Structure 1
Amino acid sequence: MRSLTRYEEQISRYSKFILLGILLAGLLLRLYGVTSNLPDIYSNGEAGRVSNAVEMLANRDLNPHWFGHPGTTVIYLLAFVYILFFLGGRVLGIFASADDFKALYFQDQTIFFLSGRLLGVFFGIVTIGLVYLVGRKIFNKTVGLVAATLIAITPIHVSGSQIARMDSLMPLLLTLSFWFCLKILEKNKLLDYVLASFLLGLAIVTKYPAVVFAPTIILAFFLSQGWLKQGLIKVFSSIAACIFGAFISSPFLFIDFQQVLIDVAKEARSEQVSVTGGGLINNLRWYIENPLVNSFSIYGIILLSIGFLCCAYFRKKEELILILFPALFLLFISSLSLRWNHWVLPILPFSCIILAWAIYKLSELANKSFRKAGTWIFLFSLCIILVSLSSASLAQGREASGTDTRIQAERWITSNIQSGSSILIEPYVSNFPKDSFKLFQIDRDKQGALFQIDPDTYTRHAKLRPLDIGKIGEIGDIKDVQAQAIQYMVISHWYDLYLAEKENYLEIVKNYQGLMSSAQMIYEVNRVPKINRGPRIRVYEFK
């Protein structure tokens, strides 16, 4: 077998073609399942950002009136895409007026969500190319191509690029900011400080935790000995550029500060069933054992750890700033009260580069000790990780393309339950035809009061999506169900989640079980792994 050096020569010669192949593979994986569930929408985060953008256009109001994440860059980008879509429709004669465009949104939301998802796909593909450039600049073309391959097929990055949210934009902006940090180390120019900080400002108003990247710019400043020449100018210019980037992409974040405080307070909850953390060490272990292992495999995590340690040990400038952000960000999210899989997304581009370098370095060391063994180790490591990740991403796409459990449940309910029947529902169950049933929900903010949803007041869409204001188990008094003569109840996965943490939610579990014991289950559907997605849905008929 050829030595690793001979293969590197071939890789370098055909690097552009290899990169095109990687980008194409990443694009196909991200398009596989991108239309999942459309025109039905079940994600509140995705629905919220799209509705924010549409309402801005409908009301001719640049204030999104929501700053929870804050996600403002995504909201404005979506609004811009919708404007282009409307103008194109006017030229082609599809829309006679703005009212026609607005009517389409209420009739069929597919194009609004699909365009947002395709925007996310675009961000994901650009990130793949950028990861290659960063890996090549710090190490070499081989490391850059391996890193690009890893980010292209990592399941959580693939799925994060298929949602009309900020999940793929924030990693892109931070990776681009990092590129200019490398430029700072290389040339120490004022413009690079300004661009790195400006992009950080955009990233912060995409998602607040991006501020954790600031120490990377600061470290680049000191490692480049920036304080020796125009030090204060660079510091103040960086601060001004960051604030300017945040302001131009989210001006009302500074103007409507009262609303900012309200929305941030709502987001900063300390407890939520199934995602409540267990302290710094416990959360850190959870992130490593779950989203990171799922992203890179156990073998990949071992190599990634070796890569981190080697970068810290050799203490080269580029390698030090490469490991700083993922290390700080992982500690930051581990210190929070809640923990979510998608919170690791911003560190994936950096982690892929470190992992690619670890694979390359291990192979290089093996080549020096054992003749041609490095090539075998390089190929073996790649095969183990790439086969694991690509198969997981393909299975993920297959599930996204399948019929969601909530769609199956909706079809059964509309076919088997008489129109006009009264049904108690909760968040993340099926969407319901607007005028087919009398729908009831629980309002946790009103001591678990039971109320009937007025579809005309709540929505102008053809289907009604359950409000995220309370689960069935949060009902104040289960006797209210009988008092309202409710005939059916549709339960999502919440009961199972509360039951798994029963010691913390005794009253909620008791309410669920009290209602379930007074009813008969007449339908149930579960997801089938590698076939479809969705929570467990159960339909009960009260005796």
Structure 2
Amino acid sequence: MRWIAPGLLILILALATGLRLRGVDFGLPALNDPDEPLFMMTAFDMLRNRSLNPGWFGHPGTVTLYCLALICLAVGVFGALTGRFSGADQFASAVYADPAIVFLPARLFIVLCGVICVYLTYRIGKRLGGERVGLMAAALLAINSIHIEYSQIIRTDMQASVFILLCILAALGILENGRERHYLLAGLWVGLAAATKWPAALVAIAPLCAGLARMRQGKHEGDLLILSLLTAPVALFCASPYLVLDYPAVLRDLAGEARPIHPGATGGGFLANLAWYLSQPLARSFGYAGLAAAALGLAIAARRDRRWRLVIVPFVLLFLATLSLQQLVWTRWIVPILPLLALGGAYALCAAAEGLRSRGFRHAAIAGWAATAFVMLPMLHASVMRGTERMHDTRQAASAWITAHVPTATTLLVEDAAIDLLGKGHRLLFPLGSAGCINARQALASQMEYQEVADKRASSPLVDLGHVARDKIETCRASYAILSHYDRYRAAPDAFPDALARYHDLLTDARLEARFTPHPGSSSGPTTYVFRLAERGCQTNNDAPRQC
């Protein structure tokens, strides 16, 4: 293994990189993920306003936002040096006309964070169980479909995972050596993790358990543990000073994030949420065999090795329990524990192979490879399939239909950021809360800032037709409507009666022209509808052309 391991690690990291780069430009220039514009507009506004205050602290996302601002700055400087942009104004105009100019580099940064997670998982696995466990854990994470998906989306989850894994490495150092450096690093990583995404602060349990275990052994390290615990908030506020300097915005954004219901993501209580996480995102990305191996591996490792028992398992259980206690459920929330579940799966597979070999089983190596293939091949197939789906989204299919069937200069209402339609000559209306439906082309040309969007959004969970002010619904009248959120409200009419009523108001006498439904293995996205809306003052007949 001493000679083979480096080559295998390089191959695993190359596989992880290739899977995450495949289709990384999905959707562009349209923006399919609703949160990507939030992060990029906020980062861009910091540059434009020459301010270090993000003005938004919902995640809080500060570390990621600063990194994104630096990426935007680097793209602008490179474009100016190469003559593509004559100045900041031209760069800003180019970005609003084609967001891919900065979105693609930002996604590549998230890809890098995902690959770093794979490498850190190898480091932790090697430290806990040897070379084989490290390589196997890295391979399992490299092909995990959910980890790949969120390595391609501009969000805080992947960067927070990097800090979490670094903290776990420091906690292992505390448990094994108890050096001051490890205590300080643990506190630093906890602070940076929390400044990236609030729930990541739960990783503080790892160095805390490690430090308490050292003290139970008679090590006089209480002052170092206190130092670590104090380092975390200091690191948090050094990385995100405006948590204090702009605390009214913090309170506002935290209140906006703490909503009890969300279309398509409302939970059902602790047990129902836990069952959903196990049966949906975790089983989908690891497979039932891989998930069983992960649970078994964590249980066996915790029984055999106190490092697993004190550092790995407490964080996994605390994090999973905290997620299950929330009122909402999101696939992306599970991302930080995927590396640790991969470690558990790797430990189980390697322990099974070693157990067979120690008992003199003649075909132990073959059985080990067979078990590995049984777990990994379905995972790899799911990852490739999900990647193909992301590259063929229902919203882009709807845009293609509009381009082929609807004349230019026609007014369209679009719920998604269909920037791919801007160059086709259509007049686009976009729903924006209290402002009603605004002219998308004019809004982009004016380079609208995110704070203006947030004010008009008024903390609504989604920017869609369902949350347009009721007295502004007439501003949404168009010839055609492309609706990508309609099914969210149809699926829960009792929870969102007002939102569904807005759709019904607009769709009175409308005619369904096309419907695009995602198909496993070939396309993804929400069910997207194209309606031809009734013109005001006109009578419609399903069997005859419209007459006014």
Using the size of structure 1 for normalisation, the TM-score is 0.89
Helix, strand or coil at the partner of 1:504: coil
2:513 is paired with a residue of what secondary structure? strand
Tell me how far apart the structure 2 counterparts of residues 286 and 277 of structure 1 sit (CA, whole Å). Answer: 9
| Deviation string, structure 1 residues 503-531 (Cα, Å, up to 9, x no partner) | 43455546545654521112222334323
- Partners of 1:459 and 1:250 lie apart in 2 by 29
Quickly say closer, same or farther: Cα 1:281–1:121, change in 2 above 3 A: same
CA distance in 2, matches of 1:412, 1:395: 24
Q: Does the C-alpha gap of structure 1 residues 485 and 245 become closer, same or farther in structure 2, counting only changes over 3 Å?
A: closer
Note if 1:342 corresponds to 2:332: yes
**Corresponding letter in the other structure for 1:143:** V
The separation in 1 between residues aligned to 2:373 and 2:29, in whole angstroms, is 38
Asked if residue 361 in structure 1 is aligned to residue 351 in structure 2, the reply is yes
- Asked whether the equivalents of residues 157 and 332 of structure 2 are also in contact (C-alpha less than 8 Å), the reply is yes
Q: Distance in 2 between matches of 1:439 and 1:327?
A: 46
Give, in whole Å, the separation in 1 of the partners of 2:319 and 2:367. Answer: 31
Q: What is aligned with 2:488? A: 497
Q: Distance in 1 between matches of 2:273 and 2:62?
A: 28
2:231 is aligned to 241
Cα deviation for residue 164 of structure 1 reads 1.8
**8 Å CA contact retained: 1:420, 1:438:** no
2:515–2:528: 8 Å Cα contact kept in structure 1? yes
Corresponding residue to 2:401 among 382, 388, 412: 412
Q: What are the equivalent positions in structure 2 for 1:214-225 lying under 5 Å apart?
A: 214-225=204-215
Aligned equivalent of 1:304, options 294, 308, 318: 294
Structure 1 position 38, deviation (Å): 1.4
- Cα gap change, 1:226 to 1:188, in 2 (>3 Å): farther
**Contact residue 502 and residue 509 of structure 1 kept, 8 A:** yes
Cα gap change, 1:515 to 1:84, in 2 (>3 Å): closer
- Show CA shifts across 1:10-48 (max 9, x none): x34310000000000111000001011112212221111
Q: Is 1:81 matched up with 2:71?
A: yes
1:206 Cα deviation after fit: 0.6
- Which residue in 1 is equivalent to 2:444? 459
Aligned partners of 1:485, 1:405: CA distance in 2, in Å? 22
User: Which of the residues 122, 133, 144 maps onto 2:134?
Assistant: 144
Change (3 A) 1:415 1:243: same
Q: Which moved more, 1:65-74 or 1:161-170?
A: 161-170
- Structure 1 pair 223/472, CA: closer, same or farther in 2 (3 Å)? same
CA contact (8 A) 1:49 1:75 kept: yes
String of CA shifts for 1:427-455, please: whole Å, max 9, x gaps.
Answer: 56776528732626373xx6xxx834144
In the TM superposition, what is the alpha-carbon distance from 1:94 to its structure 2 partner?
Answer: 3.5
Residue 122 of structure 1 aligns to a residue whose secondary structure is: helix
Letter in 2 for 1:208: W
Contact 1:433 1:462 in 2 (8 A): no
For 1:213 and 1:346, the matched residues in 2 are separated by 10
Q: Write the deviation string for residues 297-318 of structure 1: whole angstroms up to 9, x where unpaired.
A: 1111111221222233335234
Take 2:36 and 2:476, find their aligned partners in 1: how far apart are those partners?
A: 34
Give, in whole Å, the separation in 1 of the partners of 2:82 and 2:431: 43
* Aligned CA distance change for structure 1 residues 263 and 61 (closer, same or farther; 3 Å): same
- Who is 2:546 aligned against? none
Amino acid in the other structure paired with 2:346: A
Alpha-carbon contact 2:428-2:441 (below 8 Å) kept:
no
CA distance in 2, matches of 1:58, 1:148: 40
Q: How far did residue 372 of structure 1 move?
A: 3.1
When residues 438 and 130 of structure 1 are mapped into structure 2, their CA distance, relative to the original with a 3 A threshold, is closer
Asked if 1:44 is matched to 2:34, the reply is yes
1 CA distance for matches of 2:192 and 2:250?
A: 17
Cα distance per residue 1:89-109 (max 9 Å; x no partner): 344343433233223212322
- In structure 2, the CA distance between the partners of 1:53 and 1:515, relative to structure 1 (3 Å rule), is closer
Alpha carbon RMSD of aligned pairs, Å?
Answer: 2.9
- String of CA shifts for 1:203-250, please: whole Å, max 9, x gaps: 101100011111111101012238955534313321332122212221
Q: Is the 8 A contact 2:145 2:386 kept in 1?
A: yes
> Which amino acid is 1:293 matched to?
A
Aligned partner letter, 1:451:
G
Structure 2 partner of 1:6: none
Kindly state the Cα deviation for residue 415 of structure 1 after the two structures are TM-superposed.
4.9
Q: How does 1:54-203 map to 2 (within 5 A)?
A: 54-203=44-193
Structure 2: which 5+ runs fail to align? 535-539, 541-548
Q: 1:388 to 1:206 in 2, by over 3 A?
A: same
Residue among 424, 429, 433 paired with 2:422? 433
- Mark the CA change 1:430 to 1:509 in structure 2 (over 3 Å): closer, same or farther: farther
Counting only pairs closer than 5 Å after superposition, residues 396-411 of structure 1 correspond to structure 2 as 396-402=386-392, 404-411=393-400
Identify the residue that residue 267 of structure 2 maps to in structure 1. 277
Partners of 2:440 and 2:333 lie apart in 1 by 35
SS in 1 for 2:530: strand
**Structure 1 contact 127–175 (Cα < 8 Å) conserved:** yes
SS of 1:34's equivalent? coil
1:295 aligns with 2:285: yes
- Is the contact between residue 221 and residue 227 of structure 1 (CA under 8 Å) also seen in structure 2? no
Deviation at 1:177, TM superposition (A): 0.9
Distance 1:275 1:436, change over 3 A: same
- The CA deviation at 1:475 is 6.7
Candidates 5, 9, 12, aligned match of 1:19: 9
Alpha-carbon distance in structure 2 between the residues aligned to 1:242 and 1:511: 47
1:529 aligns with 2:520: yes
Residues 155 and 392, structure 1, Cα contact 8 Å, conserved in 2: yes
Deviations 1:481-540 (A, max 9, x none): 6x6693435253433232333343455546545654521112222334323332222222
Deviates more, 1:255-264 or 1:379-388: 379-388
C-alpha spacing 1:80/1:442, structure 2 compared with 1 (3 Å): closer
Contact kept, 8 Å, 1:490 with 1:537, in 2: the verdict is no
- The alpha-carbon distance between structure 1 residues 241 and 182, as it changes in their structure 2 partners (threshold 3 A), is same
The alignment of Structure 1 onto Structure 2 pairs a total of residues equal to 525
Q: What is the CA distance between 1:358 and its match in structure 2?
A: 1.0
Structure 1, 450-459 or 275-284: larger mean CA deviation: 450-459
Check conservation: 1:431, 1:464, Cα contact below 8 A. no
C-alpha distance in 1 between matches for 2:23 and 2:193: 27
Q: Distance in 2 between matches of 1:211 and 1:484?
A: 44
Going from structure 1 to structure 2, the CA distance change for 1:74 and 1:336 (only over 3 Å counts) comes to same
| SS of aligned partner of 1:94 | coil
- SS in structure 1 at match of 2:332: helix
The code of the aligned residue for 1:134 comes to I
Unaligned runs of 5+ in 1: 1-10
Q: 3-state SS of the aligned residue for 2:157?
A: coil
Shift in alpha-carbon separation, 1:421–1:391, aligned structure 2, 3 A: same
Matched to 2:39, the amino acid is R
- Matching residue of 1:486: 477
Distance 1:523 1:382 in 2: 44
Could you tell me which amino acid in structure 2 is paired with residue 453 of structure 1? I
**Is 1:231 paired with 2:216?**
no
